[in-house]
Amino acid sequence: NAGVMQNPRHLVRRRGQEARLRCSPMKGHSHVYWYRQLPEEGLKFMVYLQKENIIDESGMPKERFSAEFPKEGPSILRIQQVVRGDSAAYFCASSADSLNTEAFFGQGTRLTVV
């Protein structure tokens, strides 16, 4: 049973480009969460999705960031017109239920904006 898969592991983008981060949850998990970790900080919640629905996006920046979890395929976190401050590790987690009693994390995508 494969764990949570994130790709790419490392992503370098120039300022103004778009970044697309992918997350495939564990088999049987339909709840996906995205977190961001800035250098020297803890993980900050961004968005919680179920298949085809955004449940809680209260942690998402108001502009340039969007997320989806389509019926088929991975969850995508999209960052448009990236800026240097977007450089961070982005982690995806999945769980089998909405209680999130034991969320399993992927290895993360390290985004570097140059």
Partner 1 sequence: DQQVKQNSPSLSVQEGRISILNCDYTNSMFDYFLWYKKYPAEGPTFLISISSIKDKNEDGRFTVFLNKSAKHLSLHIVPSQPGDSAVYFCAARETSGSRLTFGEGTQLTVNP
The residues of the shown chain that bind partner 1, judged by CB under 8 A, are 4, 6, 31, 33, 35, 40-45, 48, 55-56, 58-59, 91, 93, 95, 98-108, 110
Compute the 3-state secondary structure of the chain and give helix, strand, coil in percent, each to the nearest 5: 5, 50, 50
Least separation in angstroms between CB 45 and partner 1 = 4
Closer to partner 1 by Cβ: residue 80 or 100: 100
43, 36 contact by CB (below 8 A)? yes
Closer to partner 1 by Cβ: residue 40 or 72: 40
Dihedral angle computed from the Cα positions of residues 96, 111, 20 and 43, in that order, rounded to the nearest 10 degrees: 30
Least separation in angstroms between CB 50 and partner 1 = 10
Tokens, residue 8: 């790419």
Least separation in angstroms between CB 16 and partner 1 = 27
